Amino acid sequence: MRESQKLFGGLFLLAAALGLALAPERASSRSGPQDVNTEPVPAFHDTVPAGPLPETLSPSLFTEPVAQNAYALAARIKKILYQQPCYCHCDRSQGHGSLLDCYAGKHAAVCGICEREDFYAYEQSRKGKTGAQIREGIERGAWQGVDITKYESPLPAATK
């Protein structure tokens, strides 16, 4: 009886180890382009609420120019970011309700996906696109094409 328990326990451990070894790795927020068309759309809001929106953190809290620029631009387009999903899936891991929540805390400063989506939303808003139109582009993965190098040095004051 004791030998069969040892055999069963050993087989169970072997199966568990094999399952872990073969399981796919989860993407990190600094990963490269993703096939967003096969994923469910993360949390977002269809419309802007009548009341106030959460404040974004001050760009001065960060030392990296990309993060400073991302937070500065996010503060200008809060209503648009409130209507956008975030494909780093912080809605699952951190309970965020939209891309704006990433900028109400420090999360976006360490997440290339959040930064790219913010820069995409800002660029599209400057072209006159609505929140819904920007969301369609984000859902298609258009944010992945943002040239982040133009945000690696401080932006002129007028742009911020």
Could you report the average pLDDT of every consecutive run of 10 residues in the chain (160 residues)?
Answer: 55 42 31 52 86 95 97 97 90 85 94 96 98 95 96 78
pLDDT of residue 138: 94
Tell whether 159 is covered by a domain. no
pLDDT of res. 36 = 47
* Cα Dmax for the chain: 79
Please state the domain count of the chain.
1
87 contacts: CB under 8 Å, gap ≥ 6:
34, 36, 39, 42, 113, 117, 138, 141, 143
State the pLDDT at residue 17.
41
**What domain range includes position 89?**
36-151
The answer to whether position 97 is within a domain reads yes
**pLDDT in the model for residue 40:** 85
* Whether the model pTM is above 0.85: no
